[in-house]
């Protein structure tokens, strides 16, 4: 019998995914008898945001018709055609050179990065930002280069700082717009600045626009609509806008100058062929989703507006917490004004109250600052209860700190 522990790959040391890693701690709290309130996962399906019936029906029909063979590696022609139409007509994306479908945006992102970077190459990723990019870059042995979003300017990327972070081996800029975890939307000048940098330094821009229609304030501009001479890979899918994260279907739209992009597109297709195809029956839902009824979106936005207002009101009335109003998606990223570290704060919050949020350090942030991410998808009573717990927890913590410093306790 083999008794030696199996030696695992070194690259696993750098793989973290805070959104789900926090569950381990939550389960321990639950076993100790604490009731949990989950504000950690951006999954509309866990709350009152059901997948639209015509999307479900399209998949059921495909299954009944026994459409369970492998699909083409790049995706079903009917799905690709509908994606092209949406990208050109609604988003205004120019110079589309290729479209492919994957098992969620996640797979498309992995293909786009794997076909682009060698070990040691650099990719600029936003801080805060969605942690999948860091995990994939760690897997590929590529270098994560950080650029910070500016909290004082509604979490806009700072283009001048971004420019400074570029070095001789930088290959791409990741832009998450609308952003997870901050819920911010980039303004036109920032987008133009990023495209200008990419053009100057010969970089590909990976534009993650998976929340593009979940906009509460302002307007989302598709990066690929602004120029046709910069290589842009835009990611979208069924997970968020179409309320079907478990369907695992996303797509990538490759736009920009044809000749420079040709080898990159070929390389991505090598990876696509090697993994066979995305789910065949689910792809039959893409055209009905994109071309069909969008009532669900209107309803979702109405609910999200009310829940965001409540979230802001309750968080911003808590001493020691300040939250920049999110403009899109369903996340808020409040700052802990009196803390310098957030992982311990979040762990204590879960243990003491059962409220599960994600520590800001799991998304990256300016050194010395502390934040946490909340998902405001739950219904108002759950949100109210969670934020009351958070306010009470924060007050206890302030009081303990004041006592430890021999001060009189501050306001509760
Ligand atoms: C910014 C961003 N990109 C990609 C994804 C993953 O998308 P998918 O479910 O299509 O794999 C998420 C999921 O939370 C996300 O927030």
Do residues 243 and 54 touch, judged by C-beta distance below 8 A?
no
- pLDDT of the residue at 253: 98
Q: Measure 106 CA to ligand 1 centroid, in angstroms.
A: 6
CA dist 158 and 126 (Å) reads 10
Ligand 1: residue whose CA is nearest its atom 7: 105
Q: How far is CA 397 from CA 91, 320, 339, 352, in A?
A: 47, 10, 10, 11
Task: Give me the domains of the chain, ranges plus CATH numbers.
Answer: 10-49+295-404 (3.90.1150.10), 53-291 (3.40.640.10)
Q: What is the DSSP letter of 245?
A: G
Q: Give the pLDDT band (50/70/90) at residue 1.
A: confident
* Residues making up the chain, counted from first to last: 412
Q: Is the pLDDT of residue 10 over 90?
A: no
- pLDDT of the residue at 288: 98
- pLDDT of the residue at 410: 52
Q: Is the alpha carbon torsion for 302, 303, 307, 310 positive or negative?
A: positive
15-58 tens-digit pLDDT: 777 777 788 888 888 888 888 999 998 999 999 999 999 999 99
Q: Is the pLDDT of residue 411 over 60?
A: no
Average pLDDT value for residue range 173-185? 98
Q: Which residue out of 103, 104, 105, 249 has the highest number of ligand 1 atoms within 8 Å of its CB and is therefore the one to mutate?
A: 105
Please state, rounded to an integer, the average pLDDT across all residues of the chain.
95
Do residues 411 and 401 touch, judged by C-beta distance below 8 A?
no
Q: How far is CA 385 from CA 38, 186, 248, in A?
A: 11, 32, 32
Q: Measure 397 CA to ligand 1 centroid, in angstroms.
A: 34
Pairing of strands 321-322, 335-336: antiparallel
Ligand 1: residue whose CA is nearest its atom 14: 42
Q: Is the pLDDT of residue 407 over 70?
A: no
Q: Give the pLDDT band (50/70/90) at residue 412.
A: very low
Minimal CA–CA distance to 278: which of 248, 307, 303?
Answer: 248
Minimal CA–CA distance to 373: which of 323, 307, 337, 303?
Answer: 323
Q: Measure 214 CA to ligand 1 centroid, in angstroms.
A: 13
112-124 tens-digit pLDDT: 999 999 999 999 9
- pLDDT of the residue at 116: 98
Q: Which atom of ligand 1 is nearest to the CA of 237?
A: 10
CA dist 400 and 348 (Å) reads 13
Task: List residues near ligand 1 (CB under 6 A).
Answer: 42, 104-106, 130, 176, 180, 208, 210, 237, 239, 245, 250
Quote the pTM value. Answer: 0.95
Q: Give the pLDDT band (50/70/90) at residue 175.
A: very high
Q: Measure 180 CA to ligand 1 centroid, in angstroms.
A: 9
287-326 tens-digit pLDDT: 999 999 999 999 999 999 999 999 999 999 999 999 999 9
């Amino acid at each position: 019998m083999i008794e030696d522990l199996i030696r695992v790959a070194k690259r696993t040391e750098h793989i973290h995914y805070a959104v789900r890693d926090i569950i381990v701690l939550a389960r321990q709290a639950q076993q100790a008898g604490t009731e949990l309130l989950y504000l950690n996962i951006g999954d509309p399906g866990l709350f009152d945001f059901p997948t639209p019936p015509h999307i479900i029906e399209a998949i059921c029909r495909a299954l009944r018709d026994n459409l369970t063979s492998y699909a083409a590696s790049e995706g079903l022609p009917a799905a690709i055609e509908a994606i092209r139409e949406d990208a050109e007509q609604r988003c205004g994306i120019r110079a589309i050179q290729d479209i492919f479908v994957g098992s969620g945006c996640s797979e498309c992102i992995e293909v786009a990065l794997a076909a682009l970077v060698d070990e040691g190459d650099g990719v600029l990723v936003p801080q805060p930002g969605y942690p999948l990019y860091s995990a994939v870059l760690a897997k590929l042995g590529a270098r994560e280069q950080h650029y910070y979003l500016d909290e004082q300017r509604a979490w806009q990327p700072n283009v001048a700082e971004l420019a400074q972070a570029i070095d001789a081996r930088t290959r791409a800029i990741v832009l998450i717009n609308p952003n997870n975890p901050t819920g911010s939307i980039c303004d036109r000048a920032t987008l133009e600045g990023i495209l200008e940098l990419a053009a100057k330094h010969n970089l590909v821009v990976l534009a993650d626009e998976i929340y593009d229609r979940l906009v509460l304030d302002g307007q989302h501009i598709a990066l690929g609509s602004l120029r046709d001479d910069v290589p842009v890979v835009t990611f979208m899918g069924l997970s968020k806008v179409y309320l079907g994260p478990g369907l695992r279907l996303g797509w990538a739209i490759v736009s920009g100058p044809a000749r420079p992009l040709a080898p990159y597109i070929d390389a991505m297709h090598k990876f696509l062929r090697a993994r066979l195809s995305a789910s065949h029956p689910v792809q039959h839902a893409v055209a009905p989703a994109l071309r069909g009824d969008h009532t669900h979106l209107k309803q979702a936005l109405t609910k999200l507006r009310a829940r965001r207002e409540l979230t802001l009101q309750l968080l911003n009335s808590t001493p020691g917490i300040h939250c920049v109003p999110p403009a899109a998606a369903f996340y808020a990223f409040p700052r802990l004004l009196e803390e310098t570290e957030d992982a311990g704060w979040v762990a204590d919050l879960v243990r003491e109250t059962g409220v599960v949020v994600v520590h800001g350090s799991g998304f990256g942030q300016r050194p010395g600052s502390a934040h946490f991410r909340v998902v405001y998808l739950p219904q108002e009573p759950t949100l109210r209860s969670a934020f009351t717990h958070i306010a009470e927890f924060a007050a206890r913590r302030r009081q303990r700190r004041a006592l430890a410093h021999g001060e009189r306790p501050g306001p509760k």
